[in-house]
A and B are shown apart, each in its own frame.
Chain A
Amino acid sequence: MTSTIINVQRATKRYGRAIGIDDVSLRVSAGEVLGLLGPNGSGKTTLLRLMLGLIRLTSGSITMFGRNIATADDDIRSGIGYLPGDLALYGQQTVRQYLTLMATLRRRSMMPRALVMCERFGLDTTRRIGDLSRGTKQKVAVVQAFMHEPDLLLLDEPTSGLDPIVQREFEVLVDETRRRGATIVLSSHILAEVERLADRVAVMRGGRLVAVDDVTSLKSRFSRRLDLEFAAEIDPAPFESLAGVRNVHVSRRTLSCDVLGPETELLRTAVNLGVLGVHAHDPSLDDIFQNIIDGAPDGERKVPA
């Protein structure tokens, strides 16, 4: 029995005529990590900012921790940590001054933990924020979002600007946070990142939610592109007849194809023909959307162009 932490019902946000999000309904359960996947301008940021009450709904409703955000008081946000996508901190302050201000405004003692996190991310707390690089500022924002051990984290493109080593550290932090039972919603336009971190994925495009599914079953709907390398020139015919295999191309000793569903038969055939190596490409966002559109029954899951 899991409780619902976030319940978005038929949420619509318009800016004048422009649409931020359109008729989005979504539930997030306690302890779950939900990935919001979509290209820039697809409404991920709008959805997160609506949850925080930074912007107000045009219609529909959002319930957080069982309370409607339109009527709840400001304390509802004490259990939330937020990492904005468009980062702006107070440049005049040092890292320590900034985090102290945030802690004071949260009215709780959390500096010891914040300083431990700074050390973990290799942050020099005496430096002025204005002098820091984009990636280092992002680390400060990460500490700010996690330092009070919130029950819910809303992370907008959290790894943008972080170098690969820090990204790894961040993923470990997300994992620890999940294990202590917190709920996490994170947005990204990189499938691999969402795949590594999230239990479920909500795919957005043009302000609409086009698919919500767990990562494995969503992935099974995507075709993956495989490059198979052989010792000698290869005949594509045995591959073209396999179920789920499409767009077979041969360029000398390399055969490329798209595969939907299990790859067992394809790999067996390849092994029999003496394959040397296999290289798999993760589907791009465009591929995902194409798959969602292709896989949708008529009239459902229409995606605006």
Chain B
Amino acid sequence: MTRMYRMAASGPVLLPLFRKTFRDHLRGILGWIGGILALVAVQLSVYPTVRDTTSRVTDFTDAFPEAFKKIFRMDEYGTAVGYLSTELFSATLPLIFIAVGVTWGARVATDEVEAGTADILFSLPISRRRFLLTRIAAKVCVLHLLAVVLALALLVGTPIVDMSVAVERLIAASWSTAVTGMVFGSVGVLVGALSGRRSMALGIALTVSIASFVVYSLAPLVDVMDDINHFNPMQWTVGAESLRRGFDAGYTLAALVFAALLMSGAVMAFDRRDML
């Protein structure tokens, strides 16, 4: 027993609250896992058909307007990498991970406050910084858990449908997707810590995500967008196109530093704010 208390006291994370966060959101987590597995299964099962009709499909996609293909980064649709990039990694998966990251992120600093349970919680001798770090750690862990599920599903699934994609590419792309969720989720964390309001955190983080996605999409077409796109978190993550080009250390580092800065800001803001 005493050992348990000592464990709870050491380290930057409050273990009992970390476990509680997982337990409270277990159903949601299982739901997302199911969703990702289903998505991967459907997309992979369609692949053989696409591959067998490659010439026709590529003729078909070739006929798409150039702008459209650029926006959706539709290259080599007939190849395994091109197919997975277009169908999963260029939009669908990042959007799922952004949804998870933003909805979780918006809750990190707000749910206890809005529920009123923060009153008793912060009357205990625990630090608000450690509380927020704990909740952020739980969020990051969930995103990585989903990324691991995604990577495993692809590692198991691709050989079954005779796709040849390098293992490290699949892992890099999966991780990059988790980082996407983390980056935009951290916007939600920061706004939530500043405002204490979940709806505002959710709204602003989604707006930022959409704006970021628009800039990223239009970058190949509009010069101004192309210029600012270098500073766009969507470019650092989705734009790195890890599946096609392999792990991009520079972009990933930029994304991680960006997320870390926002989350540090959130921790500082939360430490100072009134629990209302």
Contacts and interface: CB of A to CB of B under 8 A. Distances in A.
A74 B117 CA distance: 18
B125 A76 contact: yes
A1 interface: no
Contact of A80 (B117, B123, B274): B123
A196 interface: no
Interface string B80-100: 000000000000000000000
Interface stretch (B8-16, B68-76, B102-110): B8-16
B276 interface: yes
Interface residues of A, number: 33
A52 B126 contact: no
A84 B272 contact: no
Interface string A43-65: 00000010011111000000000
B5 interface: yes
B62 interface: no
A49 B122 CA distance: 10
A45 B153 CA distance: 53
A54 B274 contact: yes
Tell me whether chain B's interface is mostly helix, strand or loop, or mixed: helix
Contact of A144 (B116, B120, B275): B120
A130 B126 CA distance: 25
A154 B20 CA distance: 27
B68 to A, nearest CB: 48
B123 A77 contact: yes
A108 B8 CA distance: 10
A78 B2 contact: no
A74 B125 CA distance: 5
B274 A56 contact: yes
Interface residues of B, number: 29
Contacts of A77: 123-125
A286 B117 CA distance: 33
Contacts of B6: 107
Contact of A107 (B8, B17, B20, B24): B8
Interface of A: 15, 49, 52-56, 73-78, 80, 82, 84, 86-90, 92, 101-102, 104-109, 141, 144, 154
15 contacts: A15-B274, A15-B276, A52-B123, A55-B274, A73-B127, A84-B119, A84-B123, A86-B116, A86-B119, A88-B119, A104-B4, A104-B8, A105-B16, A107-B6, A109-B5
Given A73-B127, A105-B16, 13 more contacts: A55-B274, A55-B276, A74-B127, A77-B123, A88-B115, A88-B116, A88-B117, A92-B24, A104-B4, A104-B16, A105-B8, A106-B125, A109-B1
Those 7 A-B pairs whose CB atoms lie nearest each other, nearest first: A88-B116, A82-B123, A78-B125, A55-B274, A84-B119, A54-B275, A77-B125
